[in-house]
Each structure stands twice: as structure tokens, then as C-alpha cells.
Structure 1
Amino acid sequence: MNDLMTRNNVKVMGQGEQTIIFAHGFGCDQSMWQYIAPKFAENYRVVLFDYIGSGNSDFTAYQSEKYSTLQGYKQDVLDIIEEMDLQNILFIGHSISSMIGMLAAIDRPDYFDKLIMIGPSPCYLNDTDGYRGGFEQNDIKELLTMMEMNFAGWASYMAPLAMDQTKDPKLTYDLENSFVSTNPRVAREFAEVTFYSDYRESLPLLKVPTLIIQCSNDSIVPIEVGQYLNKCIENSTLQIIEAKGHYPHISQPVETTNIIVDYLMK
């Protein structure tokens, strides 16, 4: 267990009976939860971790083959759950972690009580069938090329695009630093896995009750994506919030926390 706890830099807060797992999105680490996790630790046992290649995880554990799809990340989540013998879990995932949590809950629905998805997307690419994911193929190619050619430049471009610019500029600065601190090779591969993923066919397989939190103006995930998820996940609730950007748990932590608490109390 110690090896796994070190591998994914697992941290535990709070003494509550029920466990919340917070799963960070691409280019981030568990510090992204600093504005809301302490509040939940008052009533729950909170588990935080870093994906391999992010934060203070064990970079030597990264294998390109294993993490060439979300299945590798899903397995890490299940490994943590099983090693810690967790049950009745509330899983809060940001962005691509929403889909990682979904895959874990499809595999082992018995482990999960509820899923909370913040800014989720099952597919980031626009499709000829009318689905609007927000990006064209060329957009993704340009982003990946920028990451290869000038990683710091990519980070300084992406951070203000993703963060609510009406808030404290320090939040954008912190996000940029988070991007830069990620291992460039891992980040580039994780970005490809993220932006080219398409899990739309898996959505009807999810039976765990799910809250979808969608920002009213998200530069990464269009509002139609939240509506699409709500339509395809049978036991889901869509909550559109006033927050802008792709990181409401950072830019609007009080509003985000209140929405999650309200959902969990039902």
C-alpha cells in the first residue's frame, strides 16, 4: 500500500464516515482542489492524489503504453480504491477525470455512491453528425504541436484561455505554473489521450447517480456538451452555473461547493 500511496502521492484529510475522492484534470495536480477540499473534509474523509506524471507522483511509474488510453488512468483510480478498501464513494472529477471516474464506475458500480463531474466532456472534437465538442481536428493538432515546440509558450497561451479572466490574475498565473510543472512528455501524451478521446458510446452504461456541473461560458467545453451528457446519462442532473472558464472549483469555489453540497444532501 505504501508503494501505491507514494506512486500517486495519495493524501487523506478529514474523518468523515463517507469518502470523497477528488480527481484533478489534465495539466494539473491535487493542489487544484485547495479551495474546496478543506470544506468537504469537515464532514467527509477526503482522498486526494496525483496521476502519474503530475504533481508529486512517481514519474518513473509512467508507461506510455499503459497511459495511451484513459483505461490506464482508470486502473490507477481502482487500484487506490481497492488498496484503501474504500466503499460508498463520492467521486468528484474535473474535466477528463469525469470520464476516468465514469469508466471506473461502469467497471465497478458497487464502489460508488455518486459521481460529480465538473466541466466534463466525452468528446472534444466536433463531429459530422452534428455533435459539437468545441474543437476541430486542426485546433488539436496546433495545440499538440505547440506543446512539442514550446511547452512554456503553450502553458502561457492555455492558462488564460481556460481560467475565468474576471477573477484574481494570480489564479491564471497559478494555473500556468501548474501546466509548466507537469512533465512535458507526459503532458503531451496525456493531452493527446484527452483531446482525441471519444467515450460517447459508454455514457448509457453509467448507472451511478451523476451531477454534471457546466459553466455558463466555458472556452474548453461548450454548454451543449453538458446538455448532451445529461441526455445520455440516465440518472444524471445538469447544473449550469454562472462561473466562467473551465475551473469553477478555483475561480468560484463557494458557488461550486454549495452546488455539490446541495446535490449530496438530496
Structure 2
Amino acid sequence: MDVNKRNNVRSLGDSGSPILFAHGLGCSQAVWSRITPAFAGTHRQVLFDFVGSGKSQLSAFSAVRYSSLAGYAQDVLDVCEAQGLQSGVTFVGHSASCSVGLLASIARPELFDRLVLVGPSPCFLNHPPEYAGGFERADLQGLMSLMDQNYIGWANHLSSLVMGAAQGESLSGELSDLFCSTNPAAMRVFAQTTFFADNRADLPQVTRPCLILQHQEDSLVPLAVGEYLNQRLKGSTLEVMDVAGHAAHMSHPALVIDAMRRYMAEVHA
């Protein structure tokens, strides 16, 4: 199968070190549209849709493969291979795709230079007393039940959670439209996989440097999660953005661009 068609891969620019952008649950590569212009002409930028999202080929979707974040990590590795990327990649991921990028970097550390993680969480569930992911199992099961009973209501509810009340209706509406344009069956698998994943045990295996971009007030990822990641990812940097919500790349793109530029200018071993 042609991976470039399967994952609706787009490459912007053909020179400069590569940046690979990976979207989160229910979204598509369109969420990076406020970020990519800042790196035009200086970097080769590669965007794609996970299978089952955006304009990917739905016929390639497998509920078995994508019942684990490792299946999405394989999408990342497939896209890199299809685009001839062999080293020096800066991976930029949001939410669930942060863990996906970490898994890909464990599998192929030589492929990646560094990772930029926007709103990462290795596990959304609370595991007291050592870990506060932000949700009880019943909370997440309730979200899945809402999704089954009222998909549009679920999309509206989750998009308002992700964007934060302060961002107004336009961004929440934009995100809700993305959710509603995603195939519900594929979306349900991605949601189940995302909400109930636990990648905490994988963190010590990550060898590439990471920038953790944490939102100050995030309904989905508490501050403690960013601190937890910073303690367990060797050579990581934690930057807390003065942002309410879970999608600064959409609501406050200038902050994310500035953080990326500073981090990518740093010399890492």
C-alpha cells in the first residue's frame, strides 16, 4: 500500500532539517496550520493523518492494529520511511501523539533528533498514591458511553474541554467540526486506546531529548503530569505555558512557535 496516500502525507519544502507533525485524537494535520508558516523556507515539514483520521484511507484502518498506541507509532515510522527520512527528525506531537512519538523514538532512536510534546500524558488514569493522571476510570468510561450514545454531543463536550472555556466558541467549533468529520468507528478505537493507555513504564527507555510543553490550566492533563514526565524522561525540558486549555498550537500558536524555535536552536548530544 502507498503510505503517502494511506496517511495523506504532505511535505512542505524540500530543504532544511525535517519536522514531523503528528495530530491528536479526532484531529487531522489541519491543526498545525497556524504553526507551519513559521518554519516555511527553513525546514522541510512533513504532515500526515493517522489512519482513520482526516483524509487518510479509511480502508486501511484496523481495529486490532490501532487498539494500541504502538499501531499509531508504526504509522509514524511508516511515514518517515515513505518520505525518505533517516535521521535528524524533530517530532512535534499533540496529546495522544506525544506518547506515540515517544514509542517511535524507542523503536528507532537514530531517526529522531528531538521531540516537542504539546500537552503530553503517559496515562490519563489516576493511580494513587504515586500518579495523578486526572481521571478516575468511571470518568473515562462515562466519556466512552457518551460517545456511543450521542456522538455529536460527545464531540462538542470534548472540544470544549480541549480548547478551554476562555478560547470562545470559534476554536471549539473548529475542533468539534474536525471530530465530527472523523469516522466514528475509527474515532472510538482511537479514543479507547488514548484514554486507557498507560505508557509510564516506557519512559525510561526514551533516549532522545524532549521538550514538554505543559498548559497551565488543562482540564485533561494536570500540571503534575508534566512534572512527572520531566522527572522520568532523561534530558527533558519542562516549559509551562500560561495557557488555559489543551491545544496551545491552535489557541496560542505564537507561544508554541517561540518555544520550538528556542528548543531547536539548542545543541543536544
Q: Which runs of 5+ in 1 are unaligned?
A: none
Q: Quote the Cα distance in structure 2 between the aligned partners of 1:23 and 1:228.
A: 22
Task: Describe the SS at the equivalent of 1:214.
Answer: strand
Residues paired across the two proteins, number: 265
More deviation, 142-151/123-132: 123-132
Task: Describe the SS at the equivalent of 1:72.
Answer: helix
Q: Which residue of 2 aligns with 1:145?
A: 145
Q: Which residue of 2 aligns with 1:55?
A: 54
Q: Which residue of 1 aligns with 2:112?
A: 112
Asked if the contact 1:213–1:239 (Cα under 8 Å) also holds between the matched residues in 2, the reply is yes
Q: Is residue 185 from structure 1 mapped to residue 194 from structure 2 by the alignment?
A: no
Once the two structures are TM-superposed, the CA of residue 85 in structure 1 deviates from its matched residue by 1.6
After superposition, what is the alpha-carbon deviation per residue over 1:43-75, rounded to whole angstroms, capped at 9, x for unaligned?
A: 100000000111100000001111110111111
Once the two structures are TM-superposed, the CA of residue 168 in structure 1 deviates from its matched residue by 4.6
Q: Quote the Cα distance in structure 2 between the aligned partners of 1:106 and 1:127.
A: 24
Matches within 5 A, 1:1-266: 3-86=2-85, 87-266=87-266
Asked if the contact 2:164–2:219 (Cα under 8 Å) also holds between the matched residues in 1, the reply is no
Asked if the contact 1:98–1:120 (Cα under 8 Å) also holds between the matched residues in 2, the reply is yes
Q: Quote the Cα distance in structure 1 between the aligned partners of 2:74 and 2:224.
A: 29
Q: Which amino acid aligns with 2:218?
A: D
Once the two structures are TM-superposed, the CA of residue 194 in structure 1 deviates from its matched residue by 0.4
Once the two structures are TM-superposed, the CA of residue 14 in structure 1 deviates from its matched residue by 2.1
Q: Quote the Cα distance in structure 1 between the aligned partners of 2:15 and 2:47.
A: 15
Task: Describe the SS at the equivalent of 2:134.
Answer: coil
Asked if the contact 2:101–2:115 (Cα under 8 Å) also holds between the matched residues in 1, the reply is yes
Q: Quote the Cα distance in structure 2 between the aligned partners of 1:220 and 1:168.
A: 18
Q: Quote the Cα distance in structure 2 between the aligned partners of 1:246 and 1:72.
A: 24
Q: Which amino acid aligns with 1:60?
A: S
More deviation, 75-84/135-144: 75-84
Asked if the contact 1:121–1:225 (Cα under 8 Å) also holds between the matched residues in 2, the reply is yes
Q: Quote the Cα distance in structure 1 between the aligned partners of 2:40 and 2:163.
A: 25
Q: Quote the Cα distance in structure 2 between the aligned partners of 1:64 and 1:152.
A: 22
Q: Quote the Cα distance in structure 1 between the aligned partners of 2:128 and 2:244.
A: 28
Q: Which runs of 5+ in 2 are unaligned?
A: none
Q: CA RMSD in A?
A: 1.1
Q: Quote the Cα distance in structure 2 between the aligned partners of 1:219 and 1:194.
A: 16
Task: Describe the SS at the equivalent of 2:202.
Answer: helix
Q: Quote the Cα distance in structure 2 between the aligned partners of 1:191 and 1:167.
A: 23
Q: Quote the Cα distance in structure 2 between the aligned partners of 1:243 and 1:43.
A: 27
Once the two structures are TM-superposed, the CA of residue 41 in structure 1 deviates from its matched residue by 2.2
Q: Quote the Cα distance in structure 2 between the aligned partners of 1:158 and 1:103.
A: 25
